[in-house]
Structure 1
Amino acid sequence: MPNDILDNVALVIAAAAVAAVALAFAGFIGARHGRGTRSVLWTALVLWLLVIAVATLGSTVSSHYTGPRGLSLVPGQEIERGLANERGSNPWLNLVGNVALFMPFGFLAACLVRAPFIGRVATAFIFGLTLSASIEIAQYVLGRVADIDDVILNTSGALAGGVVGALVAVVTLRSRRVRAD
């Protein structure tokens, strides 16, 4: 699939995922008993996983990339190298993009798990770490560079989203209990 078509598919999936997250958020906050909210949350999670897959692996798979395979295991090395290189791609886009890409994932994971606040946050962190490490392994297998900085940034995004998701879930559940009493 050419990259421009892949980009358009990614945009459509991302728009659908954002809409599903917004609907889930509204339903989570507004629904008295939360009926249907979990279905919307699961749908949003699946759509967002597609966004992540297309964003992280899509161009490699579609172009049959066979560049130099590499492994970067020194934390901060690629971030520093990117910030020092003023030519080429925007390093801030890479930094912010890696964090932002995983925030909805962490939010949804925290909202879906039935656990106390810390359990929701821990779930988002562990799932974010596992997903990010899996993506980096896949990138390495596909002949790209696997980078520990991407794992750190992605997991940070999942953690941040998880904190927000856990807060929303806990506050919503408490307000439902108060209304029920």
Structure 2
Amino acid sequence: MPLTLLYLLRALVLFVVVFCAFSIIRTRYFRHLKRGSSVRREVTMSLFYGYFIMLLIFLFMSNSTLAGPSVITHELPIAQRMNLEPFHTIRTFMAYGDIEFALINILGNVLITIPLGILLPMVYPYFKKFHRFFITLCLGVIAIELIQLIIGRTLDVDDVILNTLGGLLGYIAYQLTPRQF
């Protein structure tokens, strides 16, 4: 459980810093963009961009930063850093993995994109239509996995599946909530 708390604490601190920085920068330097906006919209935008920047930082950190210096994948050949077999990693976690590690990886990959599914259509009305949201979500998740492969992390089709599932759950939650804008 301490590993889970460490991840959550890191994410929370990073989000708070980014949220505050974005809010201050937007209020101080981009006042002209706020004409006709409401406090609720400004808070939603700050949440979205705080989340988005935190997500990018978290997703593109090296494995050694996330899991410690013993995990170095960039030295492995690309073929060994790729899993293109659906559900292979999930089955491996369930069969052989430590339950905490499995939960962090499986649930973490779902939970990390739920806010994207909620906030993206709130901030950008263009993405309220499902097909636009879904195509953007899929392309974004695939792009993230490809970038991770390039920077020395791994590409895993299970991450694509779980991240897409999380985004879809967020989108469903967004669709089920009453509109405030």
TM-score by length of 2: 0.68
Which residues in structure 2 correspond to 1:141-160 (within 5 Å)? 141-160=150-169
Q: Is the 8 A contact 2:62 2:153 kept in 1?
A: no
Q: How many aligned residue pairs are there?
A: 153
* Equivalent residue in structure 2 for 1:54, among 48, 52, 57: 57
Structure 1: runs of 5+ lacking an equivalent = 1-5, 20-32, 177-181
TM-score by length of 1: 0.68
Report the counterpart of residue 39 of structure 2 in structure 1.
36
SS of corresponding position for 1:74: coil
Cα distance in 1 for residues equivalent to 2:119 and 2:127: 15
Structure 1 pair 116–92 and aligned structure 2 pair: CA distance change class (3 A): closer
Encode CA deviations 1:103-153: one digit per residue, 9 max, x unaligned: 011100121232696x1x444433322222111111110122200110110
Aligned CA RMSD, in angstroms, stands at: 3.3
Cα distance in 2 for residues equivalent to 1:48 and 1:88: 27
SS of corresponding position for 2:38: coil
Structure 2: runs of 5+ lacking an equivalent = 1-6, 21-35
Instruction: Answer yes or no: is 1:140 the counterpart of 2:149.
Output: yes
Q: Is the 8 A contact 1:82 1:91 kept in 2?
A: yes
Cα distance in 1 for residues equivalent to 2:14 and 2:132: 24
Instruction: Answer yes or no: is 1:12 the counterpart of 2:10.
Output: no
Report the counterpart of residue 22 of structure 1 in structure 2.
none
Q: Is the 8 A contact 1:17 1:45 kept in 2?
A: no
* Equivalent residue in structure 1 for 2:48, among 39, 45, 55: 45
Encode CA deviations 1:147-180: one digit per residue, 9 max, x unaligned: 0110110011111111112332xx325xx8xxxx
Cα distance in 2 for residues equivalent to 1:133 and 1:152: 10
* Equivalent residue in structure 2 for 1:109, among 99, 102, 120: 120
Q: Is the 8 A contact 2:127 2:133 kept in 1?
A: no
Instruction: Answer yes or no: is 1:172 the counterpart of 2:179.
Output: yes
SS of corresponding position for 2:155: strand
Q: Is the 8 A contact 1:99 1:157 kept in 2?
A: yes
